[in-house]
Structure 1
Amino acid sequence: MPFALSYTAAADRLDFSLAQSLTVIALCALTALISNMALAVFNDGARPFLLDFIRGNTRRGEMTAVSFGLSAGFVFGLGAPMALSTGVLNPWLLFLPTDILGLLAPRRWLAPILGGAWGAVVVFGLSGANNAAHDLPVDFLTAMQEMATPILFLFLLFPVIAIASQFGRVLGAVAFVVEIAIVVISMKAWPDHFPGALAMAAGVLMLLGFALARDLRNRRAAAAPAPPKPADAPGAARIPLEEKADDKPAADPMASLFGANAERLRRHLPWFALLGAVLAAMVNLHIFGGGEATSFLVPKGDYGEAAQVDFYRAFGFLPLIATTALASGAFQIVGFTFVYPLAYLAPNVAVAAVGGAVLFSVEILALSYIGRGLTMLPSIRDASDHLRNAIGKTLEIAILFGAIAAAAKMGGGLGITLVGGLYLLNEAIGRPIVRLAAGPAAVVVAGIALNVLHWLDLFTPLKG
């Protein structure tokens, strides 16, 4: 049968084995400890503030307030609804709270206790909330599974948006045609597989190819010798001999800072190796999706497709993670996110753990080289920025479409009015909930409202 997002009866149930639960709790404890040490946080927006915190210029309470303000909307508006509707955990639900708890803890020994407690709340408490929600007359969690198709099939176009943004409408249109053609061919030739995986690969390769070609052209143009000017020509440079003799490049203070921060991370390499091992082990247990799209692929057992999606997605965040890590002295909790595809595909937990430890170690050791490479290839760096922005724009639209589909599933026209109205109200009052989280949060609020209306005998749940 063609690729379809069909779930088994318990695919969206948050039921974990003891081994899975203990792994999640251990990982949350470890990430809270590493956050407390200011070695890594998950929230990319909070990382630039950590340099002042590391230097002692920002108090722990102030840093915690920054992290909470940047994270709360994602935790309750995106992380929790996605986990409840898909049955797998996600990084917004696990790691944004451990960022906050780790920074909040006044003593280092307290951080892993708080982080582990959050992990226990997730694996035990969320399961009860999930089961209770499924027993409601209006099952809004099952309705939220309607979000899967828009997210997956619109997300695959993010390279097209990036190409159009960086290289113009013509190349963007070419990329769009190429990706659509690959989707059509994939659906015909490999109907049981997600057709967007190859399309995304083609789009990302096209973007990187265009960027590399531009960088090579610019370097050749810069290397071409300029015609010499006569000594007495207007604008000719007249440099005193003493200036020529003493002409030495000034020391770059930013390069010195980057080197010191990279060295700080290397000194703590064992912690990152341990983090990579535990993270990869949890991902390999197939109870975790690294992104919005993969959260719907993992429950279906499409680990190969999930690995491809998260692999291509990583290129949009690599420059941001590298530059903020070098500038702040704090890494990303999930590294460059290549640990996700590695762990999805590893044959067992032990292999995943070893691979995760090695991968994180390599990423930390290579950080300085990656930073220098990005300065030599500005178009590649810009391409990653465009990829990241395109991912955000694409997901905003895809999640909104999915939220409207979920609203129609659970409440028909009234459901659409509630969800769409809440989304528009959020926009009108200054967007207190970020757009990525506004749609899922609106579905949850609307679902609760529909159940209240049913108990008041003002709404009859839709059949089917």
Structure 2
Amino acid sequence: MSSTALAASTGLDFSLAQQLTVVALCALTAFLAHLALAVFNDGVRPFLLDFVQGRTTRSATTAVSFGLSAGFIFGLGAPMALASGVLNPWLLFLPTDILGLLAPKKWLAPLLGGAWGGVVVFGLRGANNLAHGLPVDFLTALQQMATPILFLFTLFPVLAITKQFGKLLGGLAGVVELALVVLTMKVWPDVFAGAPAMAVGVLLLIGFAVARDVRQRRAAERAVAGTVSPTGEDAPVVTAGRPPKNVDPMASLFGASAARLRRHLPLFMVLGAGICLLSQLHVFGGGEATSFLVAKGQYAEAAQVDFYRSLGFIPLIATTALASGAYGIVGFTLVYPIGYLLPSPWPALVCGALVFAAEVLALSWIGKALGRLPSVRDSSEHLRGAIGDTLHLAILFGSLLAAHAMGSGLGILIAGGLYLLNEATGRVVVRMAAAPAAVVVTGIVLNVLHWLGLFTPIKT
């Protein structure tokens, strides 16, 4: 049995400390969502400003949260947890977004969130055992997603460089990453081969972006210098309107939101401590790729992957937090890699609290910095898009492999047909979650066909 399969078969059996951590953290995140201080879903966060200012109702905001989250919960979060044996943020925190916003009373929100945490830690093991006991074991088949996700995810810096800086630099980055993957597999076989390649790819992207910003700033300075005559008087050149140096539009726009978040700094520090602790317990992975790496016990590689991933989301989380007055439940996700690497729970609690405090206090500064580094800001957007593109292909390919493992051609026909039907009907289930959901449905259909005597399970 592979290490991934072993992790999945023995995972989801939580100790008392792990159970209490999950329940308490779900209660806290639901409470923060109720107060509109933080949510996990980046798409929901912009709607919270209208809710805070009384321009929309709690029920309407809850409906938005449910509509944007349900597909990820049942199509991605639950299948990924069952396949890897490791919890993930879509399974834990998207439901607490909904439950916290739904709760009409402040005291009810943590009760509902804690109840969901209890469902996860006590119910998931039973669902896991039930699914593994079926004639067609679709959870074991779902582990086929691990390899495509881990290796195709390696390419996201290449895609980002290509989109932002063109085919030449993108091709160069691709060659460098491929060489590093081959070298790592040959020289360091115990290291996840994609980790060094991703590191170099992200560094190349940041280097290209910083170089472009420096060139553009120097060009702008030369242009401004050219508008002043040698005598110190303005030359007769008309320049675009520039705001006075003392006016900071970012501060005036985002100041109130940043101040609102700072007023609740103790709550955010507790939140950071809890998320870092959960990561340190190694029952939680912050992303699709890291779930399988954590399941394999490759914590250093998981930390690398989640750190690189965070670079694509920091600008999004910072700007939406400053615009809406609501932070991300997992902050900038920097507590994930820190938690994976720490040796014991107590340092995780301290580090998580300090990291979240630093993030909240630095929000205004980050907003200003992003305004001065447009290429770096654009790089983050391209990174985020590239992550989505690579994961979509990886999850789709891995899901088809899982369907093939369950039912050969018939499995591919059913799972692929469900995926295409979802596309044709306007994506009732979000694209990222559609393929894993199709695999689960395919597994159920194949079991029904087996019970009807119409299908013989494939022996693996």
Please classify the TM superposition score into its range, dividing by the shorter chain length. over 0.9
* Contact 2:251/2:364 (8 A) holds in 1: no
Deviations 1:60-96 (A, max 9, x none): 0011011111000000000000011111100000000
Quote how far apart the aligned CAs of 1:424 are. Answer: 0.6
> Which residue of structure 2 lines up, in the alignment, with residue 425 of structure 1?
421
Correspondence for 1:182 among 180, 202, 207? 180
Matched residue type, 1:321: I
Cα gap change, 1:223/1:145 in structure 2, threshold over 3 Å: closer, same or farther?
Answer: same
Whole-angstrom CA distance in 2 between matches of 1:463 and 1:344: 36
User: Which ranges of structure 2 fall in alignment gaps of 5 or more residues?
Assistant: none
SS at match of 2:12: coil
The match for 2:226 is 226
TM-score by length of 1: 0.94
Any unmatched runs of 5+ in structure 1?
240-246
For 1:287, the equivalent position in structure 2 comes to 283
Cα displacement (A) at 1:255: 3.3
Post-superposition offset of 1:306? 0.3
Report the equivalent of 1:452. 448
Choose which of 355, 373, 393 in structure 2 pairs with 1:397: 393
1:180–1:276: structure 2 CA closer, same or farther, 3 Å change rule?
same
C-alpha distance after superposition, 1:139-165 (max 9, x if no partner): 000000000000000000000000000
Task: Specify the SS of the correspondent of 2:135.
Answer: coil
Equivalent residues of 1:211, 1:379 under 8 A apart:
yes
CA distance in 2, matches of 1:33, 1:43: 15
Rounded Cα–Cα distance in structure 2 between residues aligned with 1:237 and 1:434? 52
Distance of 2:229 and 2:203 partners within structure 1: 43
What is the DSSP-based 3-state SS (H/G/I as helix, E as strand, rest coil) of the residue aligned with 2:288?
coil
CA shift at 1:21, angstroms?
A: 0.8
Contact 2:76–2:437 at 8 Å: present in 1 too?
A: yes
How far 1:17 sits from its partner (Å)?
A: 1.1
State the alpha-carbon separation in 1 of the partners of residues 259 and 7 from structure 2.
50
Q: Is the 8 A contact 2:4 2:84 kept in 1?
A: no
Once residues 51 and 345 of structure 1 are traced to their aligned partners in structure 2, the CA distance between those partners, rounded to angstroms, is 36
The match for 2:273 among 268, 274, 277 is 277
User: 2:140 corresponds to which letter in structure 1?
Assistant: T
Where do residues 251-400 of structure 1 align in structure 2 (5 Å cutoff)?
255-400=251-396
Corresponding residue for residue 40 of structure 2: 42
CA distance in 2, matches of 1:333, 1:237: 50
- How far off is 1:455 after superposition? 0.1
Q: Deviations over 1:313-354 (max 9, x none)?
A: 000000000000000011000000000000000110111111
What's the Cα RMSD here?
1.9
The match for 2:57 is: 59
1:79 is aligned to 2:77: yes
Deviation at 1:13, TM superposition (A): 3.7
User: CA 1:284/1:249 → structure 2, altered by over 3 Å: closer, same or farther?
Assistant: closer
Report what 2:96 is aligned to.
98
Tell me the equivalent position of 2:432.
436
Task: Measure, in 2, the Cα distance between the counterparts of 1:434 and 1:131.
Answer: 27
TM-score normalized by structure 2?
0.95
2: CA distance, partners of 1:313 / 1:260: 29
Deviation at 1:254, TM superposition (A): 5.6
How far, CA to CA, are the matches of 2:62 and 2:249 in structure 1?
29
The 1-side partners of 2:238 and 2:274 are apart by 62
- In structure 2, the partner of 1:111 is 109
SS class of match (1:156)? helix
> What is the percent sequence identity of the aligned residues?
68
> Which residue of 155, 158, 161 corresponds with 1:160?
158
After superposition, the C-alpha distances for 1:290-321 in whole angstroms (9 at most, x for unaligned) are 00000101111100000000000000000000
The 1:107–1:227 alpha-carbon spacing in structure 2 relative to 1, beyond 3 Å, is closer
